[in-house]
Amino acid sequence: MRSLLFVPGDSPKKLDKALQSGADALIIDLEDSVSAANKEDARKITRDFLNEHAGDEAPPRLFIRINDLETPYWESDVKLILKSSPAGLVLPKAHSGEDVHHLSVALDHLEARAGLESGSCKLIVLATERPMALLQMASFVGSSARLIGMTWGAEDLSVALGARRNRGDDGNYTSPYRLARDLCLVTAAAAEVDAIDTVYTNFRDLDGLRRTVEEAARDGFSAKMAVHPSQIPVINEAFTPSRDELEQARAIVSAFEDAGNAGVVALDGEMLDRPHLLRSERILARARAAGLS
Ligand code: COA
Ligand code: MG
């Protein structure tokens, strides 16, 4: 997964449009983009959409962002949609790995009761929306075998911190939100799950989006969330290895093979050892996943 497009769960029109966006995954939202009055409608629209498209030939993976565990909504969200076999759930406003564990146990029971394969519903956690979560990031590591990704958000966090703004005059996030981003990246690596970069909300500014997504790919994120279909091509491109990157990775892997899988080799005057080989193998794996070869 390179791109995950948010779609409000109460909009059948946007749901249909999202299928054509080229996103690797959709995050159908039952939370902040759906008003309290529309929660029940959004659940039913989402369930019907899942039922209609779960069997599609090559659909984007369909994730559902449920409401957070402090609301009266989340249990109804999960009960109504789980039988329609979403790829997974996105848990917002987690306080710690304890919340991921709690949701996972609830899913164990519901899957058993619905006759679904145990553990089939995966989880992605929004790990930086609560200040307490930042203080307990390590608790997400090993919190559930269902956990496949971690992502971060600056909007709810900045409200919780009492901040007036979360960006400086240069448009970049200020240090509390850089900290949240970096902790998410490091924790996802420790947990061996996908690190997914947050949304770029100014959806008309594709140059700004390109800059942040290139920074994300450079630093180790493997995907980014989106709020608008126009953002998907930019995100997919940034997370797909370029031809130069691919050639370089192939040359490095060959250099090690030619040297009888030696620990260290020289290529074009550069010393290369194990981390270089691992990085190149990862680039080739990403290219295969993106349908390049
Ligand atoms: N998914 C699917 N379709 C979308 C979309 C999305 N996230 N965002 C926009 N579209 C559609 C619009 O419905 C419109 O369709 P049309 O041409 O058939 O009328 C088309 O793409 C162009 O949209 P545009 O006019 O540029 O934007 P908008 O003003 O209609 O929508 C937002 C702007 C922000 C309201 C919309 O992008 C959106 O709902 N984004 C997701 C919000 C969300 O889920 N937030 C929660 C997580 S941060
Ligand atoms: Mg939010």
Domain around 233: 3-238
7 C-alpha to ligand 1 centroid (Å): 8
Asked if residue 28 and residue 151 are part of one domain, the reply reads yes
Query: Higher confidence at residue 43 or residue 261?
Result: 43
Q: Is the CB of 129 under 6 A from ligand 1?
A: no
Note the pLDDT tens digit of each residue in 229-238: 999 999 999 9
Asked if residue 251 and residue 125 are part of one domain, the reply reads no
Map residue 144 onto helix, strand or coil.
coil
Of 238, 262, 278, which one is at a domain's C-terminal end?
238
Of 238, 264, 280, which one is at a domain's C-terminal end?
238
Tell me which amino acid residue 79 is: K
Asked if residue 148 and residue 13 are part of one domain, the reply reads yes
Asked if residue 264 and residue 282 are part of one domain, the reply reads yes
6 in Cβ contact with 27 (< 8 Å): yes
Asked if residue 115 and residue 69 are part of one domain, the reply reads yes
Percent of the chain with pLDDT strictly greater than 90: 92
Note the pLDDT tens digit of each residue in 220-256: 999 999 999 999 999 999 999 999 999 999 999 999 9
Nearest CA to ligand 1 atom 48: 227
- HEC string for 29-66: ECCCCCCHHHHHHHHHHHHHHHHHHCCCCCCCEEEEEC
Backbone angles phi, psi at 26, to 5 degrees: -110, 145
Residue 157: pLDDT over 90: yes
Using 50, 70 and 90 to split pLDDT, how confident is the model at 261?
confident
Task: List the Cα angle 50/236/217 in 5-degree steps.
Answer: 120
Give me the pLDDT at residue 58, please: 80
- When pLDDT is averaged across residues 189-211 and rounded to a whole number, the result is 97
> What is the number of other CB atoms lying within 10 angstroms of the CB of residue 117?
8
Note the pLDDT tens digit of each residue in 171-186: 899 999 999 999 999 9
Nearest CA to ligand 1 atom 37: 228
Asked if residue 186 and residue 44 are part of one domain, the reply reads yes
> What is the number of other CB atoms lying within 10 angstroms of the CB of residue 227?
18
Question: Mutation test of ligand 1: which of 3, 5, 11, 14 has the most ligand atoms closer than 8 Å to its C-beta?
Answer: 14
Q: How far apart are CA 5 and CA 228, in angstroms?
A: 7
Asked if residue 285 and residue 183 are part of one domain, the reply reads no
151 in Cβ contact with 196 (< 8 Å): yes
Asked if residue 229 and residue 162 are part of one domain, the reply reads yes
Q: What ligand 1 atom has the least distance to the C-alpha of 6?
A: 44
Q: How far apart are CA 214 and CA 249, in angstroms?
A: 19
Percent of the chain with pLDDT strictly greater than 70: 100
Give me the pLDDT at residue 55, please: 74
Question: Mutation test of ligand 1: which of 17, 38, 124, 225 has the most ligand atoms closer than 8 Å to its C-beta?
Answer: 17
- β 270-272/265-267 pair status: antiparallel
145 C-alpha to ligand 1 centroid (Å): 33
**Which helix (H) or strand (E) segment is 106 a member of?**
helix 97-114
- When pLDDT is averaged across residues 133-161 and rounded to a whole number, the result is 97
Using 50, 70 and 90 to split pLDDT, how confident is the model at 257?
very high
Nearest CA to ligand 1 atom 4: 14
220 C-alpha to ligand 2 centroid (Å): 24
Using 50, 70 and 90 to split pLDDT, how confident is the model at 293?
low
Using 50, 70 and 90 to split pLDDT, how confident is the model at 126?
very high
Task: List the Cα angle 178/183/184 in 5-degree steps.
Answer: 100
Residue 210: pLDDT over 70: yes
Q: Is the CB of 155 under 6 A from ligand 1?
A: no
- Number of the ligand closest to the Cα of 5: 1
Nearest CA to ligand 1 atom 26: 228
Nearest CA to ligand 1 atom 9: 228
Residue 138: pLDDT over 90: yes
Q: Is the CB of 6 under 6 A from ligand 1?
A: yes
Q: Is the CB of 4 under 6 A from ligand 1?
A: no
- The total number of structural domains that make up the chain: 2
Note the pLDDT tens digit of each residue in 101-122: 999 999 999 999 999 999 999 9
Using 50, 70 and 90 to split pLDDT, how confident is the model at 190?
very high
- When pLDDT is averaged across residues 57-76 and rounded to a whole number, the result is 94
Asked if residue 249 and residue 198 are part of one domain, the reply reads no
CATH number of the domain bearing residue 34: 3.20.20.60
Asked if residue 185 and residue 88 are part of one domain, the reply reads yes
Q: Provide the mean pLDDT of the chain.
A: 95
Asked if residue 281 and residue 148 are part of one domain, the reply reads no
Q: How far apart are CA 79 and CA 59, in angstroms?
A: 23
Task: List the Cα angle 156/124/116 in 5-degree steps.
Answer: 135
5 C-alpha to ligand 1 centroid (Å): 10
Ramachandran bin of 261, using left for φ above 0, alpha for ψ from -120 to 50, beta for the remaining angles: left
Ramachandran bin of 192, using left for φ above 0, alpha for ψ from -120 to 50, beta for the remaining angles: left
199 in Cβ contact with 225 (< 8 Å): yes
Asked if residue 154 and residue 250 are part of one domain, the reply reads no
25 in Cβ contact with 61 (< 8 Å): yes
